[in-house]
Amino acid sequence: MLSESFEKIIASEKPVLIDFYATWCGPCKMMPPILKEVKDKMGESISIYKVDVDVHQNIAAHFSVNSVPTLAVFKEGKLVWREPGVKPAAQLVQIISKL
């Protein structure tokens, strides 16, 4: 079951990018500067959150997150895009702009 606060976050009308990560994951450590670049380029048109899969196992299980990092975009509470692995900021901006 999802927490009320998580459901509120993903219910946003603007796209919400979730970075499912783990503190022990090497590639996950590459994501913060990429996410900052996405936020800098997209500004207020997007919200970005990080979800630690070890702390929030229920959320990770609900979305069947089996590898980290996994990036997911939600809009109005619906999962509209999802892919595992590190993605360059330019690619993420392009994907999110199309949603």
pLDDT band at residue 1 using 50, 70 and 90 as cut-offs: low
Is 6:62 a contact under the CB 8 Å cutoff? no
Q: What is the mean pLDDT of the chain?
A: 96
pLDDT band at residue 3 using 50, 70 and 90 as cut-offs: confident
- Which are the catalytic amino acids? 25, 28
pLDDT band at residue 38 using 50, 70 and 90 as cut-offs: very high
14-25: pLDDT as tens digits: 999 999 999 999
Q: What is the pLDDT of residue 55?
A: 96
Q: What is the pLDDT of residue 57?
A: 95
Domains of the chain, CATH where assigned: 4-98 (3.40.30.10)
Is 84:30 a contact under the CB 8 Å cutoff? no
Residue 35: how many other CB atoms lie within 10 Å: 17
